[in-house]
Amino acid sequence: MSRHLLAAAAALAIAAAPAAAQEWRGWNIHVPDYPNSKGLDRWAELVAQRTSNRIRMRMFHSAQLGQQDEAIQQLRLGAIDVANFNITPLNNLVPETQVLTLPFIFRDVGHSHRVVDGAVGDAIAREIEAKLNMVVVSWFDAGARSVYTRDRPVRTPADMRGLKIRVQTSDLFIDLMRALGANPVPLPFGELYTALQTGVVDGAENNWPSYESQRHFEHAKYYSTTEHSNVPEIVVVNKQRWDRLSAADREIVRAAAREASALQRQLWAEREKASRDKVVAAGVVVTEIQDRRPFAELMEPLYAKYAGTPNLKALVEQIRATR
């Protein structure tokens, strides 16, 4: 065979070979048995099956690849390929995400699903993609966030006065705590256990599963059901990774992410109850807030500050009109 023919044959062989297998790195903050971690594992499993292992996602749970703000940065740069996190840390970067974290914006869980799975979720996903170089492929649940404290229970906003309360990196959450009279302390999730233990903070706010799985209840045993915010979570893919996929592979990745999200939502509902039961059995004192109006009234000014532009106001109206 001539050299030319050999070269042509080699080129043909390369063209005919299946695309090289890819290994993606996935980030998540939670322990391996958390609903989100299990949802991500299912996603990886489905994608591997449906691409005959051409796309393998290796999920690193428990913040092994870094704390949340750093991980988001890594994802934007492409050092991490996929991730799941709640949208609060995007508030300062993509103002449209603020509307989903506003206090008491959702009527119930069903309402939040219809909003994020519908036109509002799509509009916010487009902004995230354009500004942050990541593609939203599905949404996970994170339930309602409530306040928990070390030394005494919170029954009314007056009980919050002067308390140092940990928040995520978000101006909206900083102002939310100030509106209640507390002193917000932005801290990474992974540092919170020690901060509660040593009294660097007096309390924090989160859903039942995070409160339980991070063992915060060991040092902050008063949980008050303020349920001030229902922050949805996103599942995202770095945009360069996404853009290099064929249309068929994109469909596989997206459809599998939606299926993973159905599983996560089911596991979430179960875990919320199980976590609550577990911490109550461990001696947590639950204060049921029957009337949330005094909290909601103090937070009302956040709507003007964080959803004051015509565009954000329209999103808030669209959320309220979603049935």
> How many secondary structure helices (H) and strands (E) does the chain include?
14, 11
Residues that bind ligand BDP (CB under 6 A): 29, 68, 85-86, 142, 168, 189, 206-207, 210, 233
- Least distance in angstroms from the C-beta of 216 to ligand BDP: 10
Q: In what order do the strands lie in the sheet with 55-60?
A: 55-60, 22-27, 82-86, 233-238, 134-140
- Least distance in angstroms from the C-beta of 135 to ligand BDP: 18
How far apart are the C-alpha atoms of 112 and 130, rounded to whole Å?
Answer: 23
With CB atoms as reference, the residue minimizing the distance to ligand BDP is 189
51 versus 214: smaller Cβ distance to ligand BDP: 214
194 versus 240: smaller Cβ distance to ligand BDP: 194
Helix 310-321 / helix 119-132 crossing angle, nearest 10 deg:
140
Q: Could you give the 3-state DSSP secondary structure of residue 108?
A: coil
Contact 7, 14 (CB under 8 A): no
144 versus 245: smaller Cβ distance to ligand BDP: 144
51 versus 211: smaller Cβ distance to ligand BDP: 211
40 versus 55: smaller Cβ distance to ligand BDP: 40
- Least distance in angstroms from the C-beta of 152 to ligand BDP: 22
- Written as one string, the DSSP assignment of 188-251 is -GGGHHHHHHHTSSSEEEE-HHHHHHTTGGGT--EEEEEEEE---EEEEEEHHHHHTS-HHHHH
First vs last Cα of the chain: how many Å apart? 71
- Written as one string, the DSSP assignment of 30-66 is S-TTSHHHHHHHHHHHHHHHHTTTSEEEEEE-TTTT-
How far apart are the C-alpha atoms of 29 and 188, rounded to whole Å?
Answer: 11
How far apart are the C-alpha atoms of 165 and 187, rounded to whole Å?
Answer: 10
- Least distance in angstroms from the C-beta of 105 to ligand BDP: 17
Q: Could you give the 3-state DSSP secondary structure of residue 98?
A: helix
Residue 13's alpha-carbon distances to 1, 205, 312, in angstroms, are 16, 58, 53
- Least distance in angstroms from the C-beta of 68 to ligand BDP: 5
- Least distance in angstroms from the C-beta of 188 to ligand BDP: 7
- Least distance in angstroms from the C-beta of 84 to ligand BDP: 8
74 versus 86: smaller Cβ distance to ligand BDP: 86
- Least distance in angstroms from the C-beta of 86 to ligand BDP: 4
112 versus 210: smaller Cβ distance to ligand BDP: 210
170 versus 238: smaller Cβ distance to ligand BDP: 170
